[in-house]
Structure 1
């Protein structure tokens, strides 16, 4: 991981083309990307994102920004990318002892990241917002050159998994491997039967977990479209449960999300039935991620029983007992 002094240096380099030389930078998040809060004169505030090296290229980031531009015209409250003085929105910062990083400046968005203590009814609002997002995705004509990653079994949990291989997670034994492999074979079969017709599969946010929401009063705002890509629309609900799939309130979260979604968009019985498979696939993807990030505070906060709980979820799903109240 790049040291903090180097990150602040990169932030200063990124702010110069925006003529924000005297702005105050405050590091607020180091996860996959690095996020700075920028306070400038006149009470202006911004969010600066330094991209993780080697994950998205300029064309992919430009495609994300193009979708944000289009979503903003619909009135959806999503991040607003800001150009530098020369009109450039994606800056490439030279690395010293590390690869170059891309950087994007956004208008600041007010709100607080919710926790699992969130009122389950708030998921109804999230479901409705997600339905609006999906309606736009289905109707939007993507610009020439648009390119984003696809979140499918091969890239989530398969041999080309972008977040790591679940088989290498510490504590994984043969019994656990066999159980997860069995579940993923079933997931693949169910997703193949469900299919990728345009009303089921398209451009989604792909990471609508609690950490990527901002709540302010009765408003819920979606942030961090960094992983937006092509996948099943119901994947956005599976992602909303990330890290908390076995929380006692998860069934209520799902119920409220579905009610909110249904108030704006349409859901078929098949959409409801595929959800448990998508939840298990996402959980196993996150399990792989914990393996590659096992020395981070976020992974340590999950507890030493994370793998065991994941296996319990796999068994419950295999018995048809995961969110069996829906569909």
Structure 2
């Protein structure tokens, strides 16, 4: 467990180059990154993100921030990076544990994280927003030096997957490993056939799960672009179901998302056909994540049956019954 006192010292160090008199930091979360709420003496509020060491390089983070600036300029409600006194938005902080963390200050965004009890109709609004996001992505000219991770089978479920190996997840057995391996091979083949043409594959959020949404009245705001990268556009819908792929309302969530998306973007039959493969690939990626995070509160909160439910989803996908009635 990271020492909170150390994190507070890093937060104060990250704020040195900002003109924020009497700023007060409040630790909000310790997850992949560390998030602080910053209350300035003049009443303004910010969110400070301390990046996990060794995951994203400085050029990768600058690329994320460049996209956020462009999205904000286009009128989307996304986190707005705040420049320091030198005009730069990325800081690097080395503290007394010898670890260097990148840090970014964002304007505060109001709203609450939705729960799985969310009205399925809210996915209609999320679909519309995601269509606008993808429309921007398709037409935006990325700046020189832009670099983000690619989310493909190799980086999601392959032997060198960025979130760990699914075959090392807690509870893994030989029969379960065989089932999942067959699913992975079939997903890889389907995605190879689907292809990476520019109308299907590009810059996406890549982690639009419920925890990365803020809902305030009729507004839904997208946050945490930390994993934005290059992948299939429909991957953003698969990610929206993260950890809840077998929720009773999941098919309704998908239908509403598709309905909303279609108001501002195009959905083809090929997109609908590939969605179950993307959903099961995401679930297997999350299974790998439970192995690398097995001692965390987030994994414990999934419950003792999460592994068995994952196998149930794999069986359903293999039988062609996962999200069978979508569209």
Give the alignment's TM-score, normalised by structure 1. Answer: 0.99
Corresponding residue of 2:47? 47
1:23 aligns with 2:23: yes
CA distance in structure 1 between the partners assigned to 2:289 and 2:95 by the alignment: 25
Corresponding residue of 1:126? 126
CA distance in structure 2 between the partners assigned to 1:154 and 1:96 by the alignment: 36
Report 1:85-234 matches (<5 A).
85-234=85-234
Deviates more, 1:80-89 or 1:228-237: 80-89
Three-state SS of the structure 2 residue aligned to 1:314 is helix
Corresponding residue of 1:80? 80
Q: Could you tell me whether the CA contact under 8 Å between 2:251 and 2:326 is conserved in 1?
A: no
The alpha-carbon deviation at position 2 of structure 1 amounts to: 2.2
| Structure 1 segments of 4+ aligned residues over 3 angstroms from their partners | none
CA distance in structure 1 between the partners assigned to 2:120 and 2:276 by the alignment: 19
CA distance in structure 2 between the partners assigned to 1:19 and 1:140 by the alignment: 32
Corresponding residue of 2:8? 8
CA distance in structure 2 between the partners assigned to 1:107 and 1:97 by the alignment: 28
The alpha-carbon deviation at position 21 of structure 1 amounts to: 5.2
Corresponding residue of 1:314? 314
The alpha-carbon deviation at position 87 of structure 1 amounts to: 1.0
CA distance in structure 2 between the partners assigned to 1:170 and 1:215 by the alignment: 33
CA distance in structure 2 between the partners assigned to 1:14 and 1:94 by the alignment: 9
Unpaired runs of 5+ residues, structure 1, are: none
Unpaired runs of 5+ residues, structure 2, are: none
Q: Could you tell me whether the CA contact under 8 Å between 1:273 and 1:326 is conserved in 2?
A: no
Q: Could you tell me whether the CA contact under 8 Å between 2:170 and 2:290 is conserved in 1?
A: no
CA distance in structure 2 between the partners assigned to 1:133 and 1:53 by the alignment: 28
Corresponding residue of 1:273? 273
Three-state SS of the structure 2 residue aligned to 1:101 is strand
Q: Could you tell me whether the CA contact under 8 Å between 1:68 and 1:79 is conserved in 2?
A: yes
CA distance in structure 2 between the partners assigned to 1:221 and 1:126 by the alignment: 9
CA distance in structure 2 between the partners assigned to 1:271 and 1:87 by the alignment: 42
- What is the RMSD of the two structures over their aligned residues, measured on CA atoms? 0.8
The alpha-carbon deviation at position 86 of structure 1 amounts to: 1.1
CA distance in structure 1 between the partners assigned to 2:83 and 2:314 by the alignment: 45
CA gap of 1:111–1:165, structure 2 versus 1, over 3 A, is: same
CA distance in structure 1 between the partners assigned to 2:100 and 2:35 by the alignment: 16
Give the alignment's TM-score, normalised by structure 2. Answer: 0.99
CA distance in structure 2 between the partners assigned to 1:43 and 1:209 by the alignment: 31
